[in-house]
């Protein structure tokens, strides 16, 4: 069985899958309640699908990018499950989880609210290839799209809820509800790895590091 967790946004989700990636059950709480209720939520999910801890064979985790605290608690929880149960881990990007909800032949822009006036984003382009992950202000993201001549079929992620300026690129008839990554959206084809290699992917330096870089002209 696979237990998957995602805590990179305001919504913490968990899901249990069969070894064949058949979804057996899912559950979610607000990420701000994760510290208090996270373990109880996992316990309840396992109970509801009648699966015991010893039946878990893999722990899957969304490693971001996203909101730092939720991301860190979810990854700490997932890594400790893997550490104490001796299980391998599957690592997913929060942006890839959202993108997985749209057909692979469509071009997609995923933008997650990264706070501090910025979004974490990635261009999924079936023709030219996918971009790296960007941490940009919405205006700069639009500029980058122009430079790359990227005109996505779909725009996903809660960045579009937070920053209305981004909605200018939304195409009519592409309404959806794919704003937050969900643990239930993990997909096959990811290689298992040792828990020690799995860590949150922040894609942003701390404010102190950024201030230091700015001071030294980097």
Partner 1 sequence: MRILGIETSCDETSAAVVVDGRNILSNVVFTQIPFHKEFSGVVPELASRKHMEIIHPVIEEALQKAGLSLGEIDAIAVTQEPGLMGSLLVGLTVAKTLAFTTGKPLIPVNHIMAHVYAANLGESELEFPFIGLIVSGGHTLLTLWESWTHYRIVGSTIDDAVGEAYDKVAKIMGLGYPGGPEVDKLAKKGNSNAIDLPLVMLNYQNDRYNFSYSGLKTAVVYYLQRHSDYQLEDLAASFQKKAIDILLKKTLLLSEDLKIKRVVIAGGVAANSYLREIFTQAPLDLFIPSLALCTDNAAMVAGLGYHLQQLTQKGAFSQDARDKVITKEFKKALRQDKM
Q: Figure out which of the listed residues 18, 48, 69, 193 binds partner 1, where binding follows CB under 8 A.
A: 69
Number of chain positions touching partner 1 (CB under 8 A)? 32
CB proximity list for 82: less than 8 A, separation 6 or greater: 59, 88, 89, 195, 198
Residue 208 interacting with partner 1 (CB under 8 A): yes
Residue 75 interacting with partner 1 (CB under 8 A): yes
Residue 116 interacting with partner 1 (CB under 8 A): no
Least CB distance from residue 53 to partner 1, whole Å?
6
Residue 150 interacting with partner 1 (CB under 8 A): no
Residue 212 interacting with partner 1 (CB under 8 A): yes
Strands 89-92 and 58-62: parallel
Looking at beta carbons only, is 68 or 150 nearer to partner 1?
Answer: 68
CB proximity list for 2: less than 8 A, separation 6 or greater: 16, 17, 18, 19, 21, 56, 57, 58, 59, 60, 90, 186
Residue 84 interacting with partner 1 (CB under 8 A): yes
Residue 77 interacting with partner 1 (CB under 8 A): yes
Helical pair 34-48 and 68-85, crossing angle rounded to 10 deg: 50
Distance in angstroms (rounded) separating the CA atoms of residues 67 and 65: 7
Looking at beta carbons only, is 43 or 151 nearer to partner 1?
Answer: 43
């Amino acid at each position: 069985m696979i237990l998957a967790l995602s805590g990179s946004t305001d919504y913490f989700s968990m899901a249990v899958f069969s070894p064949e990636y058949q979804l057996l059950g899912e559950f979610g709480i607000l990420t701000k309640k994760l510290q208090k209720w996270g373990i109880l939520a996992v316990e309840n999910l396992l109970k509801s699908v009648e699966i015991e801890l010893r039946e878990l064979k893999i722990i899957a985790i969304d490693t971001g990018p996203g909101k730092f605290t939720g991301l860190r608690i979810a990854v700490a929880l997932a890594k400790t499950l893997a550490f104490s149960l001796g299980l391998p881990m599957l690592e997913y990007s929060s942006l890839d989880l959202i993108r997985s909800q749209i057909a692979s032949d469509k071009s997609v822009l995923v933008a997650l609210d990264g706070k501090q006036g910025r979004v974490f984003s990635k261009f999924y382009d079936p023709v030219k290839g996918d971009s790296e992950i960007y941490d940009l202000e919405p205006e700069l993201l639009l500029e980058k799209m122009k430079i790359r001549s990227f005109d996505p079929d779909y725009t996903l992620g809660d960045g579009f809820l937070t920053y209305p300026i981004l909605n200018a690129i939304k195409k009519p008839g592409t309404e959806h509800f794919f704003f937050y990554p969900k643990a239930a959206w993990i997909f096959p084809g990811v290689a298992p790895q040792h828990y020690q290699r799995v860590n949150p992917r922040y894609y942003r330096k701390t404010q102190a590091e950024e201030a230091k870089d700015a001071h030294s002209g980097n």
